[in-house]
Amino acid sequence: MGRALDLANDILIIDGHIDVPYWMAEVYKEDISAATIGGDFDYPRARKGGLDAAFMSIYVPVRFQKSGGARDYANGLIDMVEGFVASHPTKFGSAITSADIRENHNAGLVSMPIGIENGVAIEKDLHNLEHFFDRGVRYMTLVHAADNLICDSSYDKSGTWGGLSDFGRDVVREMDRLGMIVDVSHVSDNAFVDVLKVASRPLVATHSSARAFTPGWERNLSNELILALAGTGGVVMINFGSDFLDREYDVVSTRLRKRINKRIEKKGLERFSDEGFRMFSEFRKANPVGSVTDVVRHIKHVAQLVGVDHVGLGSDFDGVFSLPVGLQDVGDYPNLIAALFDDGFSDDDVRKICGENFMRVWQQIETSVDVDV
C-alpha cells in the first residue's frame, strides 16, 4: 500500500463525476470542508485519497423537463460550487482550464471543475450553452433518465428521436465550437452513433462502465461503442457504483435500500432528519456491494480493448447507493491504485488512468478551439 499511497500523492487524480451539488441541495446539507457524517465527499477524505480534481456534477433532474426552470436550477448549483471555493480558498480551487488543475495541485488545493448532467439545463436555447461555458462548465452530459429535447436516453425505451434530434445535432456542433466536452454517458446507443456522426472532437463518457459485464444494460457501453469512442481520441471513465459493475449487484443493492428504508420508517424517523440520515449513512457504509477488484476488471477490459490511453475514473460518488468494498468514498483511491498494481498495471499506466488521459483530451480541445478564458 505504501507504493500506492506515494503515487496517489504525486500524480493527478481526476474524478469525472461527483454529485456533491445535488446531494447538498436535495439530500442532506453538510460542511464538506470538514469531516461529514454522510455522503462520499469531503475535504479531509479527498486529501487522504489524493484527489486533485472532483468534477462537480450540476445534475438537473428529469422533473424540470416538464416543470421548466432547468436553467435557473443549474445556475443555482453552480452558485453553490462557487460558494465552496469562495468560502474555503485554502482548501478548494476553481478550475476552468486544464492548467488550473495543475496549478491547484501544486498549491495543495482540491479543484472543483464543473460539468452539467442532463442537457435539459439549456432548455430550448443554444445560447445557454455559451452562458454555461462562460460560467465555467466544461462538459455536458446530453441526457439523463428520460428522453429530452436533445436525444434519447439509455433508460427510456420510448425512442423519441431514434437517436439525436435535429436540435441535438445543433447542440453537439455548438459544444464543439465552444470547446465544451460532449459527455455520452446516459445516451442511447442510437444517440451515441448519431453523436459520432456530428462531433468533431474527442468524446468522453464521464461515468460509465463496460457492458461486457452487465449484458443487455444499455447504460454501460458496449465493446463497439468503446471502440468508437476511443477512435475519437476520447476516454471512458469507469463508474464505481455497484450496479454498474455486475447486474447481480443490482438485486442486492435494491434489497439493501428497501431494508434500510423500512428500518427508518419503523423507528418513525424522517428519511432526511439528522437521526434518519445518520442511520441511512451508517447502514450504507456497513453494507458495501462488490469489491475494488470489480472496478479493476472494468478498467482492464477497456484497456485491453482499446489501450490504456482511453480509460479514466468517474466514480459517481454521491450519485449511487451501493459502492464496493475498498471504494466507498474519495479517501479510497489509493486502494484502487494498489489493486491496479496487483493486476500488473505500471506506474505510468496508473498515472494515465487516474488523470492524465482526461487531461490530454481537455488540453486537446482547448488547443483546437483556442479557448479564451
Q: What pLDDT score does 106 carry? A: 97
Q: How far apart are CA 73 and CA 69, in angstroms?
A: 6
For the segment 344-358, what is each residue's pLDDT rounded down to a tens digit? Answer: 999 999 999 999 999
**Mean pLDDT for the chain?**
97
Q: What pLDDT score does 369 carry? A: 84
For the segment 138-187, what is each residue's pLDDT rounded down to a tens digit? Answer: 999 999 999 999 999 999 999 999 999 999 999 999 999 999 999 999 99
Instruction: Identify the band that residue 370 occupies on the pLDDT scale cut at 50, 70 and 90.
Output: low
pLDDT at 10 over 60: yes
How far from the centroid of its chain's Cα atoms is residue 193's Cα?
A: 21
- 2-246+290-369 fold: TIM Barrel (3.20.20)
Taking the domains of the chain in order of start, what are their residue ranges? 2-246+290-369
Q: How far apart are CA 62 and CA 183, in angstroms?
A: 17
Q: Residue 125 burial by CB count (10 A; 0-12/13-18/19+): exposed, middle or buried?
A: exposed
Alpha-carbon torsion angle 237, 32, 115, 137, nearest 10: -140
Q: Contact, 78 vs 58, CB < 8 A?
A: yes
pLDDT at 67 over 90: yes
pTM for the whole structure:
0.97
pLDDT at 73 over 50: yes
